[in-house]
Amino acid sequence: MTPDDGKSLGDGATFSGGAKPPTASRDISLGDERTISGGDAAGLDTVLDDIDVVDLATRYRIEGTLGQGGMGAVLLATDTRLDRKVAIKRILGEAAGNRMAVNRFLTEAKSIAALNHPNIVQIYDYGRAKDGPFLIMEYVDGGSLLDSCRHGAMPLENTIDMACQLCDGLAKAHDLGIIHRDIKPANVLLTKDGTPKLTDFGLAKAQAGDHGQTMTGAVLGTPDFMPPEQRRDASLVDHRSDLWSLAATVYQMLTGRSPKIIRLHEVPQVLQAVLAKALEDEKEDRYQSAGELRQAIRSATNKLAARPAAVATDLATGECPKCHEPNEASRKFCRNAECAAALRVKCLAQTCGHEIPVWEKVCPECGAKQPDLVAAKAAQLFEERDSAEHRLASYDFSSAARVAEALQGITDSRFDEFRTWGRTFADHVIREKSSADDLVRARVGDATAHRAAYDYSSAIHAIESLPEPLRTGSPADLLGSLCADWEESKQLLDAIRQRIATRDLDGLLEPATRALVLRGDREDLRKLVSQLKKRNEKRERQAEEAFEAASKLFAETSDAKNALGKLRPHRLSQPEHSAFADILRKAVAEEDTLTQMLTAAKADGIISSDEVVALANQVTKCLSYNPEHPRILALREPLLARIMKDPQQYRGAMPALESFLCSFGSRVPEPLRRLQAEVESERTKIEAESQRANVRAHANRVALANAASPEERRERIKELARATFGSDQLKCPLCGVFVKGERLVRHYDKQHGKR
């Protein structure tokens, strides 16, 4: 037996715990040595210039070396933030300064980062330290598939289960356009419960091209597991090349032998045809997708498992289908006390259902041939079984459980195997559901811990690493919150940088404080918030001092303009300060208006009564904001004297002068008091008469509407005209036309009298 110990850069087997023995040079993945020796360090900074240098020791505690290779090492470490074991893959020495080697390393990082699948080793983070780049990866502690193959051929059932899971992981990679190019047992790690995980994507390339990393004619990979086209030219590979390598891996799992020489007759017969097609030399002759290969493996094994139908229809009279104990033909249950299986079943014909002995091949009631019906029913149950497995693989636990429950309800002893499978599968669904719940809790816990450390990228990746069907409910809410907070933090940081660059610091404390809540790890933000708080405290002290000085000046001199001038340079955040400044601004505005009115009134040397009224009202406004202004107070007496020269001239302006006169209180001259009283009395009479007229007019309109004859209607119109005599806008109640009150009767006679 020639085992494959093939190693690519940082071989995935090194994640499995314990250092591995040295490897023969013939087993090393081709391309590694050329990668180390080719190129130079020139331009390396360009490759890594967008990746910050970090100190791994601040978060990870190194506990040992899992593996060592020519280009680097894989270290076992503990993530002190999340308290979990991780594998840290390093590229060190000369390789760390080699552009092409670093490109390969980053290719692996970016390839795995895009793949969130339970059958692919998860990458938590990647970056660079002072001594070279690194990957932080899931620590898989169950060994590698190569370790299992060293013990010889694996059981068929285990091989089939692992192969299907690897097909699922590979399908995810291919769906994202990523080709592995180095699939082999050494690059499949196993968890303690036997779950296989693809690793070591160092030779992966994007389906659309690998940006010049693979030169035409180059050979990359491990020879024994390379398809023919990859041996000729690595640039010719596509997703079907990975399927050849996976089939070669399955071959070693089934035989315990390296696929250097493939002998298909050593493979269990049920999978010979499947592997023969998967290992065809021409890509077009192979399976065209990982899903198709998976389905072929499942279909082949299902055919193998279809024996119950044959057994159930090939029984001697009285033979128990379960323990094969002979019984009397009249018995309904097996005589074997340890079996006691039912010996009567129902005819499978849809329109029959008659109870017949299990060994009967033809229903005596309807003549239906039982072997054919049993085979058809078995095929249907196999489809349901496949459907349940597919639904479970898609994390549709409830649907898978319903199918399992239906299979457990089978009472026909000919299909006991399906009932047994249903019970086993139902338990499997429960375990998988529990594992999925644990995974969700773990990822949510990881994301929460990363969020607490303000590491949004890792937190988002933790949630996105969940299979999509599990990203519902709280994980989806958390992911939305993380993305929103991360985006908000980036926008805030950009805005803060711009405002600092332009020295626009007013109001910056609030967004800076919010940014610090979102990015508490930023010491520069903490310092900025502290500086802004001190700046604001200083400005508030200055504003308080200015407020006190302005208040004192205004109280002593009533000089609103100079008082306002003391406040203008300051940002007034206190409501009391802002309200005082608002009063001063209004006082200054009204005083400026008064000055302009006085200038205009004196321009022609004559101050008219209208100007006196306007000035009196403006003086009142000014005094409402600045009641102690001496020069404005001095204007009141001259204005009052002008009004007293001819009070009757201001009779019509008495309502407008009411506030001005009230400001004198009891000092209002008696003639003006009498004039005010007369004007008020006249206004009251007019309002009362107007109200009475409105009442009469309304009554007439009502009566007009209820008038029974044209004569009565004309009388009502005359009364309405008398009540509204002199009105310029009276609406005719019959046609809606507006006319003068005294013309309402004439309008009625002309337009409505003959109706």
Q: Which residues are catalytic?
A: 182
Which alpha helices (H) appear in 646-709, and where do they start and end? 654-662, 670-706
Please enumerate in sequence order all residues whose Cβ is within 8 A of that of 23, keeping only pairs 6 or more positions apart, or say none: 5, 6, 7
* SS3 of residue 79 by DSSP: strand
Which residue spans within 185-279 are E strands per DSSP? 188-190, 196-198, 205-206
DSSP helix, strand, coil percent of the chain (3-state; round to 5): 60, 10, 30
Q: Radius of gyration of the chain from Cα atoms?
A: 48
The tokens describing 270, both together, are 């049920």
CA triple 285-290-296, angle to 5 deg: 70
Burial 648-662 (b: 16+ CB within 10 A, else e): eebeebbeebeebbe
Sign of CA dihedral 259, 265, 269, 274: positive
Contacts made by residues 489-493, CB under 8 angstroms, sequence distance 24+: 489/456, 489/515, 489/518, 489/519, 492/518, 493/519
Identify whether the C-beta of residue 666 lies closer than 8 Å to the C-beta of residue 659: no
What is the identity of the amino acid at 581? A
The tokens describing 583, both together, are 């009063």
Concatenate the DSSP letters of all residues of 599-654 into one string: HHHHTTS---HHHHHHHHHHHHHHHHH-TT-HHHHHHHHHHHHHHHH-GGGGGGGH
Sign of CA dihedral 329, 334, 335, 336: positive
Could you give the CA distance from residue 749 to residue 747 in angstroms, rounded to a whole number? 6
Could you give the CA distance from residue 680 to residue 160 in angstroms, rounded to a whole number? 108
CA triple 331-335-336, angle to 5 deg: 150
* SS3 of residue 77 by DSSP: strand
Could you give the CA distance from residue 433 to residue 396 in angstroms, rounded to a whole number? 9
* 8-state DSSP, 264: G
Q: Quick one: which H or E segment has residue 367? A: none
The tokens describing 437, both together, are 């719940």
Could you give the CA distance from residue 458 to residue 442 in angstroms, rounded to a whole number? 14
The tokens describing 260, both together, are 């250097």
